[in-house]
Each structure stands twice: as C-alpha cells, then as structure tokens.
Amino acid sequence: MWRTFDAVIREGSLSSAARALGLTQPTAGRHIAELEAQLSAGALFTRSARGLHATETARALAPHAAAMAAAAAALIRTASAPANAAAGVVRISASEVVGVEVLPPILATLHAAHPGLALELLLTNTTSDLLRRDADIAVRMTQPKQQALLAKSTGRIRLGFYAHRDYLARSAPIENAADLASHALIGFDRDAASLRAINAVWPDLPGFALRTDNQLAQVAAVRAGFGIGVVQDPIARRDPALFPVLRDTFIAHLPVWVVMHEDLRSTHRMRIVFDALVKGMTAHALASEG
Amino acid sequence: MWRTFDAVIREGSLSSAARALGLTQPTAGRHIAELEAQLSAGALFTRSARGLHATETARALAPHAAAMAAAAAALIRTASAPANAAAGVVRISASEVVGVEVLPPILATLHAAHPGLALELLLTNTTSDLLRRDADIAVRMTQPKQQALLAKSTGRIRLGFYAHRDYLARSAPIENAADLASHALIGFDRDAASLRAINAVWPDLPGFALRTDNQLAQVAAVRAGFGIGVVQDPIARRDPALFPVLRDTFIAHLPVWVVMHEDLRSTHRMRIVFDALVKGMTAHALASEG
DNA sequence: TAGCTGCTATACATTTTTGCATGAATATAC
DNA sequence: GTATATTCATGCAAAAATGTATAGCAGCTA
C-alpha cells in the first residue's frame, strides 16, 4: 500500500512501480486510488498518459514513506535469523575507501569464523543515517554525537603524501614542500570539506594535475605512478611500491568510530560484527604508527 | 501484520491485541502464525492459556516494529491535510510544565487564527525522539545536536525561588541562603540530573520537606502555600500571590529550543505551528527579565 | 497519417484474507 | 471440586484484494 506509493514516486508511473514491486498495474492503480480516497489531503498525483506526477502533498509524504520502508527493511534484516544466533543479515555502512581497501580482509576473517553471517556493504561518502536504519553498523570518520547510538572509538589514521617508486625514479627529488610545485599532484575536485582541510595545512596550493572527489581513484592513480597523492598511512604501507613523500609533513589524522544503534545490542550477530569491526579497525589504525 | 505483532507485544495476548486493533482474535493469531512461518528466525512467541510470551527474537524485533509504527503515524498525520493548507494534524512534544503552564495560551491564539489545525500534545519529561517521529515539533530545554533537525533558539528562562504570600506571612523572614534551612522546601525526589544541578548551586542542601519529580506538583505546592520551591520566573510572575525569595540567588537558566524535523519544512502547517511556538516561547522567555 | 509504444482505466474470474461460530484448555474465585 | 472467565485453535462462509484480459488515450517515428 504505502510501499506502492513509495515505488510510484520513485518510478514515476503505475506500470513501472508495479513491475518493481512484482504487482500488476491495476493493483497499483487501486492502491493509489484507495489512498487518495482515504486521505483527506486531496489528490496525490496528477495522471497523464505519460505516467503519474506527484503533487506537493505527495512530495511531503515521500520522506515519511521512505522512513517507513527503511524501518521495515531493518526489521526484515533483524528477523533474518534468531536473535541469539551467529547467523543472519548485517548491513554495514562505510566510506568507499574503507569498504574497498580496509574492510575486505576483516570481513573475510569474520565470515570464515561465522559462515552463517550474510554481510551487506553500503558504501557512500555521505554518512548514511543509522537512526533512519539505512544500515545496522557504520564505520565513520567523525565522532557521532547522537545519543541512542552505541559508538566506539578505534584510534585514528594518519594521512600522508605517497608516490609510486616508478614515479619517484623518473622525477626530480623532493626535499621540502616547495619542491612539490613542480610535481604531478593528485587531489580533490569539488569536495569543499576536503579542499578546506588541505588548504589549511598547505595554503599555497600549486594546483592539482589530477582532480577527482573519488578517493578510490586517487589511491589508484598513486598506485599507477601518476604522481603524488594523499593516502591513508596503513593503506599505503601495504604496497611495497609506494613510498612516503615529505614524511614529516603533517596533513591530518582521521578519527575512526564504529557505530551501532542501541536497539541492536540485544541481537547477538550485531554484536559479533560490531566487535570484529572494532578489532579490525583498531588494528588498521595502529598500522599508522611505528 | 507487523502492526499486529507490535500490538501483541504490547498487549500480551492475541485477544487483547485484536481488540486494540479492531480485528478478531483468529485473524491476529493467523498473522503471528504467518510471520513465524515466513521468518527463518524461528518462533516469536511461546503460547499459553494466559496469552503469548515474547521470545528473545521477538523482543529484538520490537523496537523496529515500533519505529515502523511511529513512521506510519507520522505519515498519517502529514497526510491529514494538503501540504499547503493551514489545516491538519500537528503533534507537539514538550515537558509537562511547558505543556500545562506555557503552551495553552500560545496554542489558543494559534488555533483561533487557524481553526483547521488539530493539535496533539505529547507531554513527557524524557525528550521524545523527533528522529523517530514520535512528534512533529518539540519544545526542548537542551540544545539539539542532531543534524537533520531544524532548530531555533528562543532565549532562556531563569529559575528562581518562590513562595506564596500566605506562606511568607506565617513564616520567619528570609534574608540569606542560610535562613532557608528552617523553611519548608519543595524539591526533587530521584531525578538525578535536577538534583545534581541544584546541588551545584546549593551544596549544603538542608533537606526537602516535599520531594517529587513531578514539576507540576512542585509548582502546585508552591501555589498552595506549602513552602518554597523553584519555579520558572515567567510562570511565577503571572501569579500575583507568588513572591520571589532570595531574588539575587542564581539557580540556573534553561535554554529553550523549538525543534522540527527537516522533512516537515515543506508542509505549510508545520511551519505555521513552528513559527507560532518560536514566537510564543520567545515572549515567554523574555518575561524572565526586567 | 499510420503504426508503434508507452501509459491508465474497467469488467470479470480467482485467490486470499477476514470474520463468525464453536470447541478445547488453563488459570482464578468461591 | 465446581463454576467462571480467560485464553488459543479450527471449520466454514462472507468479504476483500489480486490478477487477467481488454479497451482507450497520448506521444513518438517513419
């Protein structure tokens, strides 16, 4: 019923909404008609031969329907196995870099120990809202302020300049920050927060040779020998072909937090995954030092 | 379906859950049976002749079902009128004191201007979670930290000692804090936060003659001439029979915030109520001074 | 303009869900 | 120990929701 509403808003027509939900178009149409009849809010959509167009009222309802859908999805996840079993679905949210470079071995170990676990990865750089239950557990680079969240700090990760051995071999040596001006630098494109952070440490920015907001692409470019970029210390260290540049130049420390909704504490598998992430991220952060 | 689950958890039996939902007991029973059949999580309840008892798994699911119900309720509220109309349901959360002593005239004025508004008051001292959509708009005495919330500060309210004229007439005069020891004091019972706050200002607490965590009862006791209690300045000033005691003793300033979920911004009546609360609470806080 | 493709709306058959009535079992009161 | 008032479970009929098939309408392309 409200799922149909949600789907119609997203899909734009009764037919495609019905397809997406595995219903038939008449059923979807009757759902919407019934809603419009019940709600004193008037019409929800203006119909046309090209589909349904949401009215202002329908747009106001959309986020609530989405919230309901998110809660329902979380409910289904939690119900995917008994609360005290080391099995079932757990949805983890993290940044792309963490999800690609850091989590895989952690999750592999975890799954080997608990083969019944089904892990879902939601990789977005926008912190997805745990309170809206888009995910069960999140790995974040900021300290969460919301109560009702169970959060654990797992150290911090140092950022450093790195470059590939091949690039360094064919380029001029780098003794101090001024030398960077003549090198191929890899940096952000439009990500305001990151640009500000870099600018604070390094005010006289010489200009990037490669700009992208996708941090995975930045790391990949460094590995490909494109030039010099900012990489998390523990990630760079794993690759023997990468060497630090201006080792003593401080850029930033990323605080790392593993966060979970309080309601999930009583579900055993959530705790298992939470603890594994805390352990794994702590080890990852520790590799920053020494 | 999940509403039934929610009701069964709260009510404790299929029969009363069915009564609460306007269903019949067989229907409720079949709902639960169907859930247990679908979910691989095993049994949700242990049946007995006295009702159904939730298993650990069911208890783990309960908060999610409640979240879904809250989202659904918010959806129905939002759908109670067109988004651009000055009519429909708006649910306001506030403390008991604010709801009883401060809001009524504000809401009366508001409703006179917009007779189509249906206002719901949720009076709890535990800050109900706007993100869980238990209410649309909240009046709070703490600064909200959560993003996704539209918050507006409306000044602060001074707390002071007050007593009824009759009480003062028949009691010893009060010149300084030490004199309070021989008076009938009204204070908190077990509310740790408030007790700590009072203790910080007034370390040598002489002991309360009347203890209650219900602040409405405290104000009522002061009005009844029981003794001396802490009352919000603007509330005490409205009653000509109440007089300040130790006027210059500072106790605390309560910051006042009016808070709303961002998603509601596009709904006209929410904005109307929000603005009215901001205006009204600002006027209330201003009455603290002078 | 004809033909194609997408869409919504309606009539009818089928499936699913619900309510009603009743039976069986257990706790509480006398 | 019996009576009473709960509870949950089950068989059957009514009601509601869904799917199938079809008609009608608007836009796009040749």
Q: How confident is the model at residue B201 (pLDDT cuts 50, 70, 90)?
A: confident
Q: Max Cα separation, chain B?
A: 74
- Cβ atoms of B145 and A145 within 8 Å: the answer is yes
At B238-290, the pLDDT tens digits run: 999 999 998 888 888 999 999 999 999 989 999 999 999 999 999 999 986 64
E strand or H helix that includes residue A154: strand A149-164
Helix residue ranges, H only, chain A? 2-11, 14-21, 25-38, 56-78, 96-97, 103-113, 165-170, 192-201, 215-223, 233-237, 268-286
Distance B44 CA to D4 C1' (A): 31
Strand A186-187 with A210-211, pairing: parallel
What does each C-alpha distance from B56 to A78, A84, A256 come to in angstroms? 12, 8, 32
| Distance, CA of B98 to CA of A79 (rounded, Å) | 40
Cα-based torsion angle of the residue sequence A184, A185, A189, A194 in order, rounded to the nearest 10 degrees: 180
Q: How confident is the model at residue B128 (pLDDT cuts 50, 70, 90)?
A: low
Domain B88-156+254-286 is found in CATH 3.65.10.10: no
Mutate to test the interface with B, among A57, A77, A90 (most CBs of B within 10 A): A57
pLDDT the model gives residue B181: 84
- Measuring from the CA of residue B13 to each C1' atom, give the nucleotide at the shortest distance: D7
| Distance, CA of B238 to CA of B117 (rounded, Å) | 28
Strand B88-94 with B117-123, pairing: parallel
Name the residue type at position A14: L
For the domain made up of A88-155+254-286, give the CATH fold. D-Maltodextrin-Binding Protein; domain 2 (3.40.190)
Phi, psi of A81 (to 5 degrees): -165, 160
Selection from A263, A260, A290 nearest residue A278 by Cα: A260
Burial of A30 from C-beta contacts in 10 A (0-12 / 13-18 / 19+): middle
Average pLDDT in chain A: 90
Cross-chain Cβ contact B67/A57 below 8 Å: no
Q: Enter the CATH code of domain A157-252.
A: 3.40.190.10
Name the residue type at position B47: R
pLDDT the model gives residue B90: 96
Instruction: Quote the tokens at residue A55.
Output: 């009215």
Q: Which of residues 28-67 of A touch B (CB under 8 A)?
A: 39-42, 55-57, 59-61, 63-65, 67
- Which residues in A lie closer than 8 A to residue B132 (C-beta atoms)? 131
Query: Mean pLDDT: which of A42-51, A57-66, B35-44, B197-206 is highest?
Result: A57-66
Cross-chain Cβ contact A78/B67 below 8 Å: no
Q: Does A196 touch chain B if contact means CB atoms closer than 8 Å?
A: no
| Distance, CA of B270 to CA of B86 (rounded, Å) | 9
Show Cβ contacts of residue B147 under 8 Å, excluding neighbours closer than 6 positions: none
Name the residue type at position A281: M
pLDDT the model gives residue A13: 92
Phi, psi of A122 (to 5 degrees): -115, 100
- Cβ atoms of A32 and A4 within 8 Å: the answer is yes
- Cβ atoms of B251 and B160 within 8 Å: the answer is yes
Q: Which nucleotides of C are covered by protein (CB under 7 A)?
A: 6-11, 18-21, 25-27
What are the b/e assignments for B135-160, b being 16+ CB within 10 Å? bbbbbbbeebebeeebbeebbebbbb
pLDDT the model gives residue A289: 60
Average confidence (pLDDT) over A144-158: 89
Which of A61, A72, A146 has the CB atom closest to B75's CB atom? A61
pLDDT the model gives residue A167: 95
Selection from B77, B99, B97 nearest residue B87 by Cα: B77
Q: Is A88 left (phi over 0), alpha (psi -120 to 50) or beta?
A: left
Cross-chain Cβ contact B39/A79 below 8 Å: yes
Q: Which CATH class is domain B2-65?
A: mainly alpha
Average confidence (pLDDT) over A277-289: 89
What does each C-alpha distance from A55 to A9, A21, A61, B78, B219 come to in angstroms? 10, 22, 10, 14, 48
Distance B77 CA to D15 C1' (A): 29
Cross-chain Cβ contact A75/B267 below 8 Å: no
Same fold, A88-155+254-286 and A157-252: yes
Average confidence (pLDDT) over A208-231: 93
At B48-107, the pLDDT tens digits run: 878 889 988 899 999 999 999 999 999 999 988 998 999 999 999 999 999 999 999 999
Which range (A234-238, B43-47, B48-52, B251-255) has the least confidence?
B48-52
Average confidence (pLDDT) over B215-222: 95
More confident residue, A36 or B147: A36
Average confidence (pLDDT) over A21-47: 89
pLDDT the model gives residue A26: 93
Helix (H, G, I), strand (E, B) or coil at A82: coil
Which range (A137-141, A158-162, A206-210) has the least confidence?
A206-210
Average confidence (pLDDT) over A14-33: 93
Which range (A103-112, A257-266, B197-206) has the least confidence?
B197-206
Q: Which residue is nearest to nucleotide C28 (CA to C1')?
A: B50
| Distance, CA of B194 to CA of B213 (rounded, Å) | 9
Radius of gyration of chain B from its Cα atoms, rounded to whole angstroms: 24
What does each C-alpha distance from B28 to B62, B71, B97 come to in angstroms? 16, 22, 40
Q: Enter the CATH code of domain A2-70.
A: 1.10.10.10
Selection from A272, A220, A2 nearest residue B3 by Cα: A2
Return the domain boundaries, chain B.
2-65, 88-156+254-286, 157-252
- Cβ atoms of B152 and B267 within 8 Å: the answer is no
Q: How confident is the model at residue A153 (pLDDT cuts 50, 70, 90)?
A: very high
Q: Is B16 left (phi over 0), alpha (psi -120 to 50) or beta?
A: alpha
| Distance, CA of B213 to CA of B211 (rounded, Å) | 7
Instruction: Quote the tokens at residue A63.
Output: 């986020």
pLDDT the model gives residue B290: 45
Average confidence (pLDDT) over A57-71: 92
Which range (A204-213, B98-107, B138-147, B196-205) has the least confidence?
B196-205
Cross-chain Cβ contact A145/B148 below 8 Å: no
Cross-chain Cβ contact B72/A145 below 8 Å: no
Q: How confident is the model at residue B121 (pLDDT cuts 50, 70, 90)?
A: very high
pLDDT the model gives residue B193: 81
Q: Using the predicted structure, report yes or no on whether residue A231 has a pLDDT greater than 90.
A: yes
More confident residue, A207 or A256: A256
Burial of B68 from C-beta contacts in 10 A (0-12 / 13-18 / 19+): buried
Q: Does B142 touch chain A if contact means CB atoms closer than 8 Å?
A: no
- Which residues in A lie closer than 8 A to residue B193 (C-beta atoms)? none
Strand partners of residue B91 = B120
Q: Is the dihedral of CA B264, B266, B270, B271 positive or negative?
A: positive
pLDDT the model gives residue A290: 45
Q: Using the predicted structure, report yes or no on whether residue B203 has a pLDDT greater than 80.
A: no
pLDDT the model gives residue B123: 92
Selection from B194, B189, B255 nearest residue B221 by Cα: B189
Mutate to test the interface with A, among B5, B64, B142 (most CBs of A within 10 A): B64
- Cβ atoms of B186 and B228 within 8 Å: the answer is yes
